[in-house]
Structure 1
């Protein structure tokens, strides 16, 4: 059962409740509980008990309305579930009214444009240095041809982020700074896009060799088989799967645990894709394909998402409409969608 943590009393200070941040989590035994005494609880229950004589019903109503301070102002005020759910609803509404999806890929494209410009300046500088030296004419000609070839490659780069990343992954950088910035951007994007779905997958894909991807392919294929069996009404045993691939799903001991983890990780991405226009969705999908660069694994991951979408009531990720003005980056959009889904799980 999801139990929210009681927050501070929003009436304690004028206006405090408007901007107070509250943290909610599932009950795990570490939460701090108010110091309640029996007399205070009995006082809070007495009217309902006298009216109906039903202790369970009286407790349910107490949970809903919460516990106020006593007549002398002593004791800690405890919010009831009704107030906590109202806070969640307000937080969700405020989030949707603050942000807008807009062009979540613009920041990625800008980073790529800066990297390309850094490389272009480096090529031009090296060409100027070569022409200014008293070098062999044939060497100067070769350097000029090499620089011209690089410039043509840069001019021919696709405009969309995914296509540009694919082309730059095959491009032989001359400028070390541009190469370093590109590798750094790839690492960031892999963690944002891939790590959201499988813990540890981004680091393993970084090598991009057939050997380094073998474990990932095997894990996804094995998982697809288990999920397909569940979809067909079976009750597959996940013990062998977790013995081999448990590092991807820390703490999981059953297939349901694996599904829960996958749902939480993948739902934000699926919701983002569902909330985008056709053009935006195509560009993001192209970016994800460019980061993965493995046709078989990419197909297996798509099958995994499709199977999960059928297994989960209501689907894996619903369309969300943001109505605010503050633009979101790709990472920001995934973060806010994950926040919305966490709220929905508690509500």
Structure 2
């Protein structure tokens, strides 16, 4: 292979990796759903997940902590006397070399030598004052003269590096022509900014300026506004650096600046530049300061760069906090994050942003009628499937359980078939279905040999032995004690698992969810999942039983099945005027009307199961008597086992069998 035809490979840097697998939302969705069931809004739940991160992924809080650590490292490592120290070293070198030269020069007049030595001996202690005093000194040592000239060169490069990053290196060993070019650039820049302040500049003015002086601006701004932004951020950081110094350091540098390149015009142009930038960008932080506590000295240019880093870290901290109105992870400056924390941090942030976007755009969250975000039906189905899977594992792990399939089979096949109807869960009769499709295709003039398309009318299902359909009511206690005792989320998980089971496996059955606290009300699974914990007291089982009876009467041909989840005795009942009566301990009238409504359901052959939560002996005796009155059952599961208990009871009632080894878990 020719050398010229060889390919070179490196890390892809053009944005997200185009070959990377799509982001996995499973963990995020599970975490968001869990928090929603605990009472968080979906928006808050998503924000919390993004803050915490996943099992193997950093979150926003982790990135924010790294930003703060980076900030502490910068302040704890550096101090701002680098330029002063360099100037002092060069000054000491110049004075020492001059003294050596005076001692060696035997031809010098003794009076002149003594005067020079006295002048050197009595230099001011202030570095700036000493440098200024030696400005007119006639150096006898060429080495000393060179060291002194390097002071002016260093000061000039540092002063320019404060405003234009990279100038310190670019102007090393600068010639008079280089200095003249800088002065000309500054003059043209101030003229451009003056015109812009007055609104008199044109795009051609900017283009001409960049064509002439573009080498001084590696940022390659595309407009005068971008140019001003870059210059103002740097100039404001330079001001904050000066204000972060001690008063003595600041005064020394201000006095030394007069020696920059030995050019007073340079300092005048820089002063005008600062004035223009302050007027054009008053919103920049021109007055702040930082406290540096390290030992590593920084020059003016490098120190200004560190102040810019600190400002960038502060912006990243605000972006990562997501605490401002309208915040979004799209606001994150990934380039800045990569500069400050490394590419891995930018990848993490990009992934979190993709998760946020996918949760909104991928149909996992939707906006309800009230304008708030809610879990979408897609999310509810996925969560219900996962909860039902967990419930099945709990059921199958019980000692003495039989293998119970929950595929919705309707019994043994009879050998006959019938047209499919919506809600049927019976297996297809494939032979009859294909035959129907062939007949329909031929009748329409088509050729079955060129392929078949099935229509809904073609489908036939295998008939099975008759199965009783059920009207199921899940009554769940939403009184304050349910939330206070940690039973709120298990209650919701139970409802969601049962809802998913019936809606996907036993679609011929009907399910009604009813919550009862001070009042009772029917609810759908989405509303129940998003229901926040209530702070009001009251357990109005009476109202809940009234609503259950109304639902059963709407489905007279179905077997009524009532599942009641509660952790307290009835303490409220519904009055004739629709108001509610609450008292604790339970009022006898509350007990009377509740039992009367339960008896009414019992006379309608309702299969009743109470799920008692907690260890209150009084509640146990009361619920046990309630169950016995209607030939029902009482189950006392552990809170984490509630879902398996409710689903197991539903299946037992549905198949009219006892396949679950009740002695292991029924009291």
TM-score tier after normalising by the smaller chain length = 0.5 to 0.7
Alignment of 1:147-162 (within 5 A): 147-155=113-121, 157-162=123-128
For structure 1, the residue ranges without an aligned partner over 5 or more in a row are 1-27, 70-76, 131-139
Aligned residues: 297
Distance verdict in 2 for CA 1:257–1:175, change over 3 Å: same
How large is the Cα RMSD of the aligned pairs? 4.0
Displacement after TM superposition at 1:290 (Å) = 0.8
Asked whether the equivalents of residues 157 and 172 of structure 2 are also in contact (C-alpha less than 8 Å), the reply is: no
Alpha-carbon distance, 1:125 to partner: 2.3
- 8 Å contact from structure 1 (residues 104, 333) kept in 2: no
| Alignment partner of 1:112 is 2:81 | no
Report whether the alignment pairs 1:42 with 2:29.
Answer: no
Q: In structure 2, what is the Cα distance between the partners aligned to 1:168 and 1:321?
A: 34
Matched, 1:315 2:306: no
Post-superposition offset of 1:249: 0.8
* Superimposed CA distance per residue, residues 253-296 of structure 1 (whole angstroms, 9 cap, x where no aligned partner): 21123223323443332112222344432211122221143233
SS in 2 for 1:194: helix
Match of 1:262 in 2: 231
* Inter-partner Cα distance in structure 2 for 1:204 and 1:328: 21
The answer on whether the counterparts of 1:162 and 1:286 sit within 8 Å (CA) in structure 2 is yes
Output aligned runs, 1:232-311, within 5 Å.
Answer: 232=198, 236-237=202-203, 238-250=206-218, 251-311=220-280
Which structure's relative contact order is higher, taking Cα pairs within 8 Å and 6+ residues apart?
1
Q: 1:186 to 1:290 in 2, by over 3 A?
A: closer
TM-score, normalization: structure 1?
Answer: 0.68
CA contact (8 A) 1:100 1:323 kept: yes
Residues 1:342 and 2:312 are matched in the alignment: yes
Q: Aligned partners of 1:228 and 1:103: how far apart in 2?
A: 34
**Aligned residue among 194, 197, 218 for 2:184:** 218
CA distance in 2, matches of 1:103, 1:94: 18
Q: How does 1:116-131 map to 2 (within 5 A)?
A: 116-126=95-105, 130=106
Corresponding residue for residue 181 of structure 1: 147
C-alpha deviation, 1:46, in angstroms:
4.5
Q: In the alignment, what sits opposite 1:67?
A: 54
Please, what TM-score do these two structures have when normalized by structure 2? Answer: 0.38
- Which structure has the highest strand share of the two? 2
Query: 2: CA distance between counterparts of 1:91 and 1:323?
Result: 13
Q: Report the Cα distance in structure 2 between the residues aligned to 1:217 and 1:334, rounded to whole angstroms.
A: 21
Distance 1:198-1:93 versus aligned 2 partners, 3 A rule: closer
- Distance in 2, matches of 1:205 and 1:310, equals 32
Query: Which has the higher Rg, Structure 1 or Structure 2?
Result: 2
**Which residue is 1:14 aligned to?**
none
Indicate how the Cα distance of structure 1 residues 66 and 185 shifts in structure 2: closer, same or farther if over 3 A, else same.
Answer: farther
The alignment partner of 1:67 has SS state of coil
Structure 2 unmatched ranges of 5 or more: 1-11, 318-667
Contact 1:196-1:265 at 8 Å conserved across structures = yes
**Inter-CA distance 212–153: structure 2 relative to 1 (3 Å threshold):** farther
Residues 53-96 of structure 1, C-alpha deviations (whole Å, 9 max, x = no match) = x9998876654443333xxxxxxx3x233321222123223443
Find the aligned partners of 2:67 and 2:231 in 1 and give their Cα distance.
24
